[in-house]
Structures are given as C-alpha cells and as structure tokens.
Chain A
Amino acid sequence: KAGVTQTPRYLIKTRGQQVTLSCSPISGHRSVSWYQQTPGQGLQFLFEYFSETQRNKGNFPGRFSGRQFSNSRSEMNVSTLELGDSALYLCASSERESGELFFGEGSRLTVL
C-alpha cells in the first residue's frame, strides 16, 4: 500500500505570494491532518479533515486554509506569505477518526 504522498517536496516563494500544498492519503484513509514544523515552535497543528469536513482547526491566522476532496486528497493554501511561514509542512492520514497518524515526508517551504 502506498504511503502518504506530499507534493511538492521543496519550494521557494517570496513574501506576499501564495502557495498550495497537496497531500494524497493512504488508500482507504478518510482523515487528513496538517502540521507545521519549525525549529522554534516544533510541531503545530493546523487543521484536520474527515470526509471533506473540517473537524479541527489550530491557532493559525486565516491566511492558512485547507480543504479535502471526495477522494480524501487534501490541499492546504497559505496566502500572503510571510518569512515566518518558512517551515516543513507535514500531512498525515488516519484510517478513522481518533486513529494513529501516518505521515508523509513533508513539503519544505522557504519564504524569501
């Protein structure tokens, strides 16, 4: 069974731009969560989707948004990028609500 796939793996953007990251969960998994990882703040929860509905949301500004499609694939979007948005963005899928998370390799975003 293929694991969680995140694209792109690496990207560089400039301040003010916007970015869309994609996540394809493990086949059969209906829950997708997103995390931001930085050296200073560690792993911070962004949001979680289950069957196309947002179940949970972390404490991030409205510039961070996400969605989930009917095939469980998920995207997250960050608008008006700031230097502080530079981070590793990790996507994780779960077979069920409240299950353990299986992570992708992440998308490393650098904002210049």
Chain B
Amino acid sequence: AQKITQTQPGMFVQEKEAVTLDCTYDTSDPSYGLFWYKQPSSGEMIFLIYQGSYDQQNATEGRYSLNFQKARKSANLVISASQLGDSAMYFCAMRELDRDDKIIFGKGTRLHILP
C-alpha cells in the first residue's frame, strides 16, 4: 500500500496566486514526521517545511505553510503568492519514528507557475 499519496501529477497556477499541493499519508505509528521538498530542474532536493505528528500548530516557513489535518491523515503544502521560481517538482515525505525511521517519499507533483 502507498504510504504517501500525492494525487496531482501536475498543476498549472498563475503567478501570484496561492497554490495547494495535496498529500495524504498512511501510518499506524503515533510518532511520525512529515516533510515537503522541492526539486528544481537542476535535480537538487531542497527542504521546505517539517511537521511533527505531535505538533499542535501548523508549520509555517515564509511563504510555505503545511495544512496538517491529523484525523484525515492529510498534510497539504500551501504556497502563498506563487513566483515563477516556484516551478519545480514537489515531494511529500514521511518518517515513522517508532517504526523503521526511514524517510519515504510520494511520487511528487510537478508545479508550473505561469507568468
């Protein structure tokens, strides 16, 4: 079974609009961490934001915020005021801390920002 599901293979968004990238996860481990990474065409994976399963508040980092809905096992990434430089692949990932503790990634969403 897929542990991390990203249902949007690709998205097109107008510059300056907000965008939400979907991510659902599956785990029975009460202790886990959720991550979002950005991969531009250069190939390097860039860490964006982290949410721990016990964190009470949604994580925010600049223009990035994570909409964490624990009961729905959802960890959507919200990018406010999108920029052309946001065009990239975005990966949601999870680490199950009580289990094997390795980070596993979703298939990714390719985001295109239109001028």
Contact B50 A56 (CB under 8 A): no
Q: How far is the CB of B107 from chain A (nearest CB, A)?
A: 5
A106 is contacted by which of B43, B100, B105 (Cβ under 8 Å)?
B43
Query: Does A101 sit within 8 A of B, measured CB to CB?
Result: yes
| A102 and B102 alpha carbons, distance in the complex (Å) | 14
| Stretch binding the partner chain, chosen from A16-24, A77-85, A92-100 | A92-100
Q: Does B91 contact A (CB under 8 A)?
A: yes
With contacts A105-B43, A106-B43 taken as known, whether A58 is within 8 angstroms of B33 at the C-beta atoms is no
Give CA–CA (A38, B42) in the complex, Å: 15
Contacts of B3-58 to chain A: CB distance below 8 A: 33, 35, 37, 42-47, 50
- Indicate the size class of the contact surface on chain B: 20 to 34
A97 to B95, CA, bound (A): 11
B100 to chain A, nearest CB (A): 6
8 Å CB contacts to A: which residues of B93-109? 95, 97, 100-108
Contact assessment for A56 and B100 in the assembled complex, using a CB-CB cutoff below 8 Å:
yes
Of residues 77 through 115 on chain B, the ones whose CB sits less than 8 Å from some CB of chain A are 91, 95, 97, 100-108
Given A100-B35, A100-B50, A42-B105 contact (CB < 8 Å): yes
Bound CA span A106–B101, Å: 22
Measured in the bound complex, the distance between the Cα atoms of B46 and A81 in whole Å is 29
Chain A residues with CB under 8 A of B106? 42
Chain B residue at minimum C-beta to C-beta distance from A42: B107
Query: For residue B102, which residue of chain A has the nearest CB?
Result: A56
| 7 A-B pairs closest in CB distance | A103-B45, A43-B105, A56-B102, A105-B44, A42-B107, A106-B43, A45-B102
Enumerate chain B interface residues (CB-CB to A < 8 A): 33, 35, 37, 42-47, 50, 91, 95, 97, 100-108
Question: Can you show 27 pairs from A to B with CB atoms below 8 A apart?
Answer: A33-B102, A33-B103, A35-B105, A43-B91, A43-B105, A43-B108, A45-B102, A45-B104, A48-B102, A56-B100, A56-B102, A58-B102, A90-B43, A92-B45, A97-B101, A98-B33, A98-B95, A98-B97, A100-B47, A100-B50, A101-B35, A101-B103, A103-B37, A103-B47, A105-B44, A106-B44, A108-B43
